[in-house]
Amino acid sequence: MENTALVVGANGVIASNLIKHLRTLGNWNIIGLSRRGGQDQERLSYIRVDLLDSLECKNVLSNLSHVTHIFYAAFKDMPTWAELVQPNLDMLINVVEAIEPVATNLHHISLMQGYKVYGAHLGPFKTPAKETDAGHMPPEFNVDQQEFLERKQQGKKWSWSAIRPSVVAGTALGNPMNLISVIAVYAAISKELRIPLRFPGKPGAYDKLMEMTDADLLAKATVWAATEIQCANQAFNISNGDLFRWNELWPKIAAYFGLQFAPPLHMSLQTVMADKELLWTEMSIKYGLKSTYGALSSWPFGDAVFSWDYDFFADGTKARRFGFHEFIDTEKMFYSHFDEMKANKIIP
């Protein structure tokens, strides 16, 4: 059966890996939706659209009657949590309101969420977090988006799913939430400066339990949930399947990069990395790198992750009970992504 996927937010680390996975399956035609567009390939085309403009969405997307699945992974960053709600809710509404009336064979809408649903960004939260956990005081756009889909789906033949990954690990550039590139660039610059690799986060974060979600694993889980009948109208936590502590993993990351390891030192990456663009330009010439400093990583995101001085993990057994059994070793995942960044001349 031929399916047509509309992947919204197509250039992010989550969506780009989803597109890559869909292309391996053979029975998907893919349309990538973003403001930047992309390079068309076999079974893959891109559309540029401003998702915040409802009229533009309807005009540009009105001919997409063949869409069978919407994979929504767009995100609009804003200065405060409250300000996140309206634009992120509006973008989802604009896509659904434009596609649903014309796509008569629409089967499923997949919504990408995260542990913010559990209040993980606010402070210590119940772990392991479960899909059935009680909600928390708003604002929270992930919750508003899901509630919109729940209301919209009533009486319709299509279904929805909500996918909740932990910190997502991938190698796509230009994404504000990419911990792999944060660590890789921080390590590369440390090596160039001949200084040891220090964990920069809060002291209490160094020994807490963490988990991550590989972008390729997430892509497989997302398509699985969107195409299995038993997953209709369900939310799923998706993670690699193992836990780690930075105090064990960080020295191994230092060893991977051929760096000495030194005790943690709490510092703001946003502050200490602010003046490193000239150094990176020199490194790019020296090592033949193909990446510009501004597109590599988001230091505020790194600061946020490394500030979690509380356990950060969820219960992933629901997905396994429903039939998704894939997992990945997190330590090996780090090395694999670092290898890929080196091979692509993103880091030395």
The answer to whether 250 and 208 are in contact (CB under 8 A) is: no
Whether 323 is in a domain gets the answer: no
Whether 320 is in a domain gets the answer: no
CATH number of the structural domain spanning residue 224: 3.40.50.720
Rounded to a whole number of angstroms, the distance between the first and last alpha carbons of the chain is: 44
Q: Which two structure tokens, joined as six digits, stand for 13?
A: 């680390």
Work out how many domains the chain is built from and give that number. 2
Whether 318 is in a domain gets the answer: no
Q: In terms of domains, do 204 and 301 share one?
A: yes
Whether 321 is in a domain gets the answer: no
CA angle 193–196–198, rounded 5-degree value: 115
Q: CA-to-CA distance for 261 and 312, rounded, in angstroms? A: 24
Q: In terms of domains, do 255 and 153 share one?
A: no
Q: Which two structure tokens, joined as six digits, stand for 23?
A: 């292309």
The answer to whether 253 and 334 are in contact (CB under 8 A) is: yes
What's the Cα-to-Cα distance from 230 to each of 68, 105, 132, 163, 235, rounded to whole Å? 18, 19, 17, 15, 12
Q: In terms of domains, do 230 and 111 share one?
A: yes
Whether 344 is in a domain gets the answer: no
The answer to whether 335 and 183 are in contact (CB under 8 A) is: no
Q: In terms of domains, do 206 and 220 share one?
A: no
**pLDDT digits over 200-223, tens only?**
999 999 999 999 999 999 999 999
By C-alpha distance, which of 259, 250, 294 is closest to 273? 294
Other C-beta atoms within 10 Å of 258: how many? 9
What is the value of pTM for the model shown? 0.96
Q: In terms of domains, do 37 and 175 share one?
A: no
Last residue of a domain, one of 194, 221, 238: 238
Give Rg (Cα) of the chain: 20
Q: In terms of domains, do 217 and 295 share one?
A: no
Q: In terms of domains, do 152 and 265 share one?
A: no
Greatest Cα-to-Cα distance within the chain, rounded to the nearest angstrom: 63
Whether 201 is in a domain gets the answer: yes
Q: In terms of domains, do 82 and 223 share one?
A: yes
Q: In terms of domains, do 109 and 249 share one?
A: no
Q: CA-to-CA distance for 205 and 255, rounded, in angstroms? A: 21
Whether 153 is in a domain gets the answer: yes
**pLDDT digits over 241-294, tens only?**
999 999 999 999 999 999 999 999 999 999 999 999 999 999 999 999 998 898
Last residue of a domain, one of 221, 238, 255: 238
Whether 346 is in a domain gets the answer: no
**Domain of residue 8, residue span:** 3-167+212-238
Q: In terms of domains, do 307 and 220 share one?
A: no
Size of the chain, expressed as the number of residues it contains: 348
Tens digit of pLDDT at every position of the chain (348 positions): 789 999 999 988 899 999 999 999 989 999 999 988 899 999 999 999 999 999 999 999 999 999 999 999 999 999 999 999 999 999 999 999 999 999 999 999 999 999 999 999 999 999 999 999 999 999 999 999 999 999 999 999 999 999 999 999 988 766 657 899 999 999 999 999 999 999 999 999 999 999 999 999 999 999 999 999 999 999 999 999 999 999 999 999 999 999 999 999 999 999 999 999 999 999 999 999 998 898 888 899 999 999 999 999 999 999 999 999 999 999 999 999 999 999 999 999
Q: In terms of domains, do 286 and 219 share one?
A: no
At position 322, the amino acid (one-letter code) is F
Q: In terms of domains, do 269 and 220 share one?
A: no
3-state helix/strand/coil string of the chain: CCEEEEEECCCCHHHHHHHHHHHHHCCEEEEEEECCCCCCECCEEEEECCCCCHHHHHHHHCCCCCCCEEEECCCCCCCCHHHHHHHHHHHHHHHHHHHCCCCCCCCEEEEECCHHHHCCCCCCCCCCECCCCCCCCCCCHHHHHHHHHHHHHCCCCCEEEEEEECEEECCCCCCCCCHHHHHHHHHHHHHHCCCCECCCCCHHHCCCEECEEEHHHHHHHHHHHHHCHHHCCEEEEECCCCCEEHHHHHHHHHHHCCCCECCCCCCCHHHHCCCCHHHHHHHHHHHCCCCCHHHCCCHHHHHHHCCCCCCECECCHHHHHHCCCCCCCHHHHHHHHHHHHHHCCCCC
Q: CA-to-CA distance for 110 and 70, rounded, in angstroms? A: 6
Q: CA-to-CA distance for 123 and 136, rounded, in angstroms? A: 12
